[in-house]
Amino acid sequence: MSPLRGTLASLRRRPVRVRLAIFSAALTAVILIGFALVVGRLVSDRLQGDFNDEVASTAKALALNLQAETNATGVTTIRGGPNLDEFAGASDAVIRIVDVNGDPLPGSNPIDLGEPSASGGLREVGDLVVSDSQIPTFITTFATPALYVQYARDPSSTDKTIARLWLFLGCGVVVGTILAGVAGMSVARRAMRPIASLTGTARTIARTRDPSLRIPEPENEDEVAELARTLDEMLRELDAARTEAETTVRRQREFVADASHELRTPLTSILANLELLEEGLDEAGDEDELAATRSALRSSKRMSRLVGDLLILARADAGRRGEPVECDLSRIASEAFEEVEPVAEEHEMRADLDPGVTVMGDPDELHRMVLNLLENAIRHTPDGTSVELGLHRNGERMLLEVADDGPGLPAGAESKLFGRFVRGTGPADSQGRNGDGTGLGLAIVKAVAIAHGGEASAGPSEAGGARFAVTLPLAPEAADLTDTAAVPDGAKDGTED
C-alpha cells in the first residue's frame, strides 16, 4: 500500500468532525500558500528591482554631477559633485573612478570592481552589485581619457528584508491553517451536535431494546432534522410492529398453556380407562387386544408426559408463575433420586446431598428439573456407568449437579443441548428404557432454572463423562437452617438399595 493510500485509509477511519476540520485546514493552507507565493514573489521582485534601480540611478546621478578635466601636464582631475568618501559612507556603498581599463584614479577606493561596462548595466562582483556610468569631460585642447564612476552596494540588507518577508508569509500560512483547523473543528462540532444526540439516543435504544423512545428533533430545518424525523417515524413503526408481535406471541403462549392444561384432564381419564382395560384383558387372557391396549397405554403416557413438558415451558414463556414457596430441595432431590433408581437397572446410582438446602420456588417444577437431569444421564450412558447426584451449598447459592463417567458430550454440543426438541440417541433409547425422549427434558431444566433466578450449564465431568449443573439462589433463611433433610439411606452414603 502506498503512503498516500495508507494516509487516506487512516483519514477515512477518523470521525466526520475531524475530517471536516482537516479538509478545512488543508483547503485554507492551499489558498494561503498560493497567496503567499504570489505576494512573496511580487514583493521580493519589487524590492530587488528597487534596489537595482537605486544603484543604477545613483551611479548615473553621480556621473552627471562629476566632470573630468586634463591639464597641460596631462593630469586628469574630477571636478564637481559631492565628496565621494562621505557620500559612500552615508549610503554604505563603494565608489570608484576608473578608466576604461578599470585602473582607478589616484585616491579612489582600493576595492577592485573590475573593468567598467560601456553599456552601463548592472553586474555582480563578489557580494556587491555594481553599476558603471561614464563621466562627462570638459572640452579642452588636451585630450581627456574616458572615465567611469563605479557605484557598488551590498544587497544583504535587501536580501534580509526579503527573507523576513518570506518568514512572515510562512508564519501567516501556518497560523492561518491552525486557525482554520480550529474554526473548522468548532463549526463541525456544532454542526454534528444533532448527529451526536441522534447517536446517543440510538445507543440507548440499542442497549435497552426499547423502540418506544423518541428521537430528539433538531431546531434547524435541515438534512439532520429530516433524518431525525425519518428515524423517529421508523421507531414508531418498529414499536408498533413489536407490540403487535409481542401480543401475538403472548396470545400463542397463553393458548399453548391453556391447551396443555386442558389436555391434561382428558389424558388422565384416557390413561385411567386404558389401565383398567389392560387389567381386564390381562385377566381374560386376550393377548391381541391386550397388546393393542398396552401400545395405546404407552402412547398415552408419552403424550401425557409431552403435554406436561409443554405446559411447564408454556407457563415459563407466558410468565405464569404462582407465588413461590420455600422448598426443601434436598428432599425434592431425594424423592427424584428414589423415583429414578428402580429403573436405572445396570447403572450405579450415587447421591451426595447436603441436608436442609432450601430455595424459593415451585416444588413440582423443581422435582421435574431434577428428574429430567437423572433420566437424561441414564438415557445417554451405557450399562455399568455410574451416575452421581450432588447438592451442595455454595455461598448464597446452591449447586445441583448430575455427573457420569460415560462417553461424554459431543464436541461443541454444550451450547445446543438446552434447546427445545434437541434429541440424541443414547443406549437407553436403543434398549427401549424409559420410553422415547421428547427432546424437551433439558429445555425444561433450563427454563425452570431461569424461572427460579438461576442458570444451567453442561460440560465434561471429572471422570471424563458429562456433567450438568444448576445453580439457584438459596432461600433467605437457608443459612440458619440446621434440620437435616429426608435423604434416603442409600443416597447419602453412596450405597444402592
Going by their DSSP bridges, the two strands 325-328 and 455-460 should be labelled as unpaired
pLDDT in the model for residue 331:
93
How many CB atoms lie under 10 A from the CB of residue 4? 8
The CA distance from 105 to 270, in Å, is: 146
| Strand-strand pairing, 386-394 and 348-353 | parallel
**CA 419 to each of CA 302, 304, 408, 423: distance values in angstroms, whole numbers, following the listed order:** 20, 21, 18, 9
User: How confident is the model over 226-235, as a mean pLDDT?
Assistant: 82
Residue 492: predicted pLDDT = 42
Look at residues 454, 458, 450, 468 and name the one whose alpha carbon lies nearest to residue 373: 468
Contact 354, 491 (CB under 8 A): no
Q: Mean per-residue pLDDT for 423-432?
A: 51
DSSP, collapsed to helix, strand or coil, labels residue 219 as coil
CA angle 401-403-408, nearest 5°? 135
Distance CA 130, CA 153 (A): 7
Cell digits for 41? Answer: 514573489
Terminal-to-terminal C-alpha distance of the chain? 76
Q: Report the 3 state secondary structure along 344-412.
A: CCCCEEEEEECCCCEEEECHHHHHHHHHHHHHHHHHCCCCCCEEEEEEEEECCEEEEEEEECCCCCCCC
At 97 the pLDDT is 85
Least confident of 81-85, 258-262, 446-450, 480-484: 480-484
- Give the pLDDT confidence score for residue 391 in this predicted structure: 92
Beta carbons of 90 and 153 less than 8 angstroms apart: no
Coil vs helix vs strand at 164: helix
Q: pLDDT category, 416, cuts 50, 70, 90?
A: confident
Given pLDDT bands bounded at 50, 70 and 90, which one contains residue 482?
A: very low
CB 346 within 8 A of CB 466: no
Please list, in sequence order, all residues whose beta carbon lies within 8 angstroms of the beta carbon of residue 229, skipping any fewer than 6 positions away.
Answer: 215, 217
Q: What is the pLDDT of residues 17-53, one digit of tens each?
A: 777 888 888 899 999 999 999 999 999 999 999 988 8
Q: Please give the backbone phi and psi of residue 117, each rounded to the nearest 5 degrees, phi first.
A: -100, 130
Number of other residues whose CB lies within 10 A of the CB of residue 7: 11
pLDDT, mean of residues 372-376: 89
Percent helix, strand and coil across the chain, each to the nearest 5: 55, 15, 30
151 close to 93: Cβ distance less than 8 angstroms = yes
Question: What is the tens place of the pLDDT at every residue in 71-109?
Answer: 666 566 676 677 777 777 777 888 888 887 777 777 677
- In terms of Cβ atoms closer than 10 Å to its own Cβ (0-12, 13-18, 19+), residue 283 is exposed
- Cell 395405546: give the residue: 296
List CB contacts of 275: < 8 A, sequence separation 6 or more: 297
**What mean pLDDT do residues 269-296 have?**
79
Q: What is d(CA 378, CA 336) in angstroms, rounded to the nearest whole number?
A: 13
Q: How confident is the model at residue 423 (pLDDT cuts 50, 70, 90)?
A: low
CB 351 within 8 A of CB 388: yes
Mean pLDDT, residues 401-428: 75
Query: What single letter denotes the amino acid at residue 398?
Result: M
Question: At residue 229, what is the residue type?
Answer: R
Better-scored residue on pLDDT, 200 or 313 = 200
Say how far residue 148 (Cα) sits from the centre of its chain: 82
- Average pLDDT estimate for 446-471: 89
Q: Are 255 and 312 in contact (CB under 8 A)?
A: no
Residues 6+ apart with CB under 8 A from 284: none
Q: Say what the pLDDT of residue 399 is.
A: 92
DSSP 110: -
Q: 287-297 b/e with 16+ CB inside 10 Å = b? A: eeebeebeebb
DSSP state string for 146-158: -EEEEEEE-THHH
Q: What is the mean pLDDT of the chain?
A: 78
d(Cα 470, Cα 478) in Å, to the nearest integer? Answer: 17
Least confident of 13-22, 109-118, 149-158, 339-348: 13-22
Rounded to an integer, the average pLDDT of 217-222 is 71
Flag whether pLDDT at 483 surpasses 50. Answer: no
More reliable by pLDDT, 257 or 385 = 385
Q: Which CATH superfamily is domain 324-492 in?
A: Histidine kinase-like ATPase, C-terminal domain (3.30.565.10)
pLDDT at 314 over 50: yes
